[in-house]
A and B are shown apart, each in its own frame.
Chain A
Amino acid sequence: MAECLAEGKQPEILFWVGCAGSFDDRAKKITKAIAKILNKANVSFAILGSEESCTGDPAKRAGNEFLFQMMAMQNIAVLNGYEVKKIVTGCPHCFNTLKNEYPQLGGNYEVVHHTQLIQSLLNDGRLKIEGGEFKGKKITFHDPCYLGRGNGEYEAPRMLIEKLEAELVEMKRCKKNGLCCGAGGAQMFKEAEKGNKEVNIERTEDALETQPQLIATGCPFCNTMMTDGVKHFEKEHVVAVKDIAELIAEAEDL
């Protein structure tokens, strides 16, 4: 973003990469897929790079409102400094926080999740996709809580799967009744409480019941949880776990 400013350019959209997308090796692949798609569609975008911080989501949901608001206000100062108008995120948690919790603190932006942006690029004819290698494949979609139940977006990711000419198979619990992967509310960063099962195992069972060739999701944390779940059942050679952005990038050979 700093480079754009130096060159006097205002990019069309800011790509908010997120912590997982920046640091987690698996999630970085999702980040790259999103960047490739944006490039393919000739969307001018920028990232904040070292000026980006965690949105504060896990702190807020773990009860540390002070830390959350400190992170939020620092981020807002940076975003407002660059006069950012529109943001695309690679993570539903960043998406929810920027979209719903920043406005009251002075951060007002048009915020979209990457599946929503890709959908609109398709609708506007800026991007075209064909089924490619996913044509006819059985794909099930795991709804991230903060994209689906939290913000009511169930259709964008599903429409993209259909565009790939894949066979979308729904789990018994899906859309607003979808089961959490177990990572939200800062659970990603701690051990689970005592129980008789891990949440991600329960959810992976739902997914495997549909006998998919691929489990798609739209969240780096869900991705980790489902990948671990698939490994637990020793199915990693049969069932892949991928982000919708990766599917599109791979189908288009990007």
Chain B
Amino acid sequence: MASMVSQIAFLALLVVAGFFIYRRYQFVKSNILLGRPNGPTDRKQERLRNMILIAFGQKKMFDRPFAALLHLVLYAGFIIINIELIEIIVDGVAGTHRAFAGMGAFYIFLINAFEILAALVIVACVIFFTRRNVAKLRRFHLAEMKSWPKTDANLILITEVILMTAFLVMNAADSIVAQRTSGHTPDFIVSQWLQPVCQSLSTSNLEMLSHFTWWLHIVGILAFIVYLSYSKHLHILLAFPTTYFSKLEDPGRINNMTAVTNEVRLMMDPSAQVEPVEIGRFGAKDVSDLTQHQLLSAYSCTECGRCTSECPANQTGKLLSPRKVMMDIRDRMEEIGDAKAKNNGVWEEDGKSLLGNYISEEEVWACTTCNACTNACPININPMEVLVDLRRYLIMEESKSPESITSMFNNMENNGAPWAMSANDRGNWTNE
């Protein structure tokens, strides 16, 4: 009977978690679809290769080997230990306990492997937590890393430690119970060291402890998956499409706007044949002017701040932080999504925009387009092109630029050079 109750409770829990995840999935998806469609995605093999190397293989993480190694432990822990989830779900639904134990030696091997990973995960989390909160790395303490982003980062580390501890305590308790009832059972490689702490408990208390930690583990994991979808940890999943769609051309290339090409062609030759494209707005003022890939990138950002720590403007005290640019895009999408949800899915202008309310012109103009941010991003997010899109809006829609830039444009138009120099003097060096 008790088993029936817990089976039903377990199923209910799965349904509730599934509901929240689905709802959040729909929300994020509709926010990403606010963006303009991406261009055609050719060269599928190269994209696949990038995705496998960069998202799955974490190739770019290894530019900083220490963090990469710890990150790899957490990643492997996340993927591999969650194989255990299959057994947990089977147990939960069928009311069994350790349904796969019948596999014998292989099962013991698996659990031992999980335990080693769990212990490594705890170690990695403790180091990451210390590094983030005690070591005072500059990039973890910039203006955009206060309040929720800071909590978000710590929360996951603490949750991981609790989940892994629950898993190890459960194994320790189970081992002792098995020893006391059947006389022999192999000790698991890590949790055997926890057994002395549990030995003083009675067998029934140990069984309770085992149950409790089992529930803690599964409730924790489900809560974690729901929480993940609300946090920067979405990168675990979204890193894959983000790298798949990332730019394949040389990083120095910035796209040519087809709408502009058409207009310039027609200007130079009124009889020119041009392929019509939807013009909309030149450049980006709000998130809906960015591409879906750019919006997806914002949801994939883990706020690690490698971009910002390599940005020449940020390092010299300017307001610009490429990480903040991506976080601003995400926050603005969430704001629009929330407003739509409250208004039966209809969007009414709120008088705000990404440029102005989130990202200032001062930030936009500080970029040197040096590509350090994109190069540093472990999943190929490109904040630089967002900044160029914002400049495009300022220039082409609002004719707003720093005075010296305006005179540079004038010089280019009139003299074909950014300075007020005559084209006739271009060859002077040959006689000097």
Residues of A near any B CB (own CB < 8 A): 17, 19, 21-23, 28, 31-32, 35, 47-54, 56, 58-67, 69-71, 73, 96, 99-101, 104-105, 145-146, 149-152, 176-177, 179-180, 182-199, 201-203
Contacts and interface: CB of A to CB of B under 8 A. Distances in A.
3 tightest CB-CB pairs across the interface, nearest first? A150-B252, A63-B391, A196-B317
B250 interface: yes
A193 B362 contact: yes
B413 interface: yes
Interface string B248-263: 0111111011001101
A187 B404 CA distance: 10
Given A69-B261, A177-B310, A182 B320 contact: no
Interface string B102-120: 0000000000000000000
17 contacts: A21-B429, A22-B428, A23-B425, A53-B417, A56-B412, A66-B263, A69-B260, A71-B416, A99-B250, A150-B371, A185-B368, A185-B370, A191-B404, A193-B313, A193-B318, A194-B362, A202-B315
A61 B369 contact: yes
Contacts of A183: 368
Given A17-B426, A49-B426, A146 B252 contact: yes
Nearest to B404: A190
A194 B319 CA distance: 8
Interface in B382-432: 388, 390-396, 401-402, 404-405, 408-409, 412-413, 416-419, 421, 423-430, 432
A47 B427 contact: yes
A62 B318 contact: no
B151 interface: no
Contacts of B268: 73
Nearest to A63: B391
B426 A32 contact: no
Interface in B339-374: 362, 365-372
Given A65-B396, A100-B249, A190-B365, A54 B416 contact: yes
Contact of B395 (A64, A190, A201): A64
Interface string B295-314: 00000000000000010110
Given A19-B419, A52-B426, A199-B368, A152 B312 contact: no
A101 B260 CA distance: 14
A185 B315 contact: no
B423 A53 contact: yes
B375 interface: yes
B395 A199 contact: no
Residue from A51, A56, A59 with most neighbouring chain B CB atoms (10 Å): A59
A53 B416 contact: yes
- The DSSP consensus for interface residues of chain B is helix
B417 A179 contact: no
A52 B425 CA distance: 11
Residue from B268, B316, B401 with most neighbouring chain A CB atoms (10 Å): B316
Contacts of B249: 100
Residue from B282, B372, B412, B421 with most neighbouring chain A CB atoms (10 Å): B412
Given A193-B319, A194-B319, A199-B368, A101 B256 contact: yes
Given A63-B395, A177-B310, A101 B316 contact: no
A196 B314 CA distance: 10
Contact of A149 (B63, B251, B416): B251
B265 interface: yes
A60 B375 contact: no
Contacts of A73: 264-265, 268
B283 interface: yes
Interface residues on B, range: 35 or more
Interface of B: 63, 249-254, 256-257, 260-261, 263-265, 267-268, 282-283, 310, 312-313, 315-320, 362, 365-372, 375, 388, 390-396, 401-402, 404-405, 408-409, 412-413, 416-419, 421, 423-430, 432
Nearest to B256: A104
Contact of A66 (B264, B320, B429, B430): B264
Contacts of B404: 189-191
Contacts of A65: 256-257, 260, 282-283, 392, 396
A119 B368 CA distance: 28
Given A54-B418, A196-B317, A199-B368, A186 B405 contact: yes
Nearest to A28: B429
A61 B319 CA distance: 19
Contacts of A35: 430
A12 to B, nearest CB: 18
A192 B316 CA distance: 10
Contacts of B393: 63
A62 B396 CA distance: 11
B276 to A, nearest CB: 17
A199 B368 CA distance: 10
Contacts of B256: 65, 69, 101, 104-105
Contacts of A105: 256, 261
A105 to B, nearest CB: 6
Contact of B426 (A22, A62, A197): A22
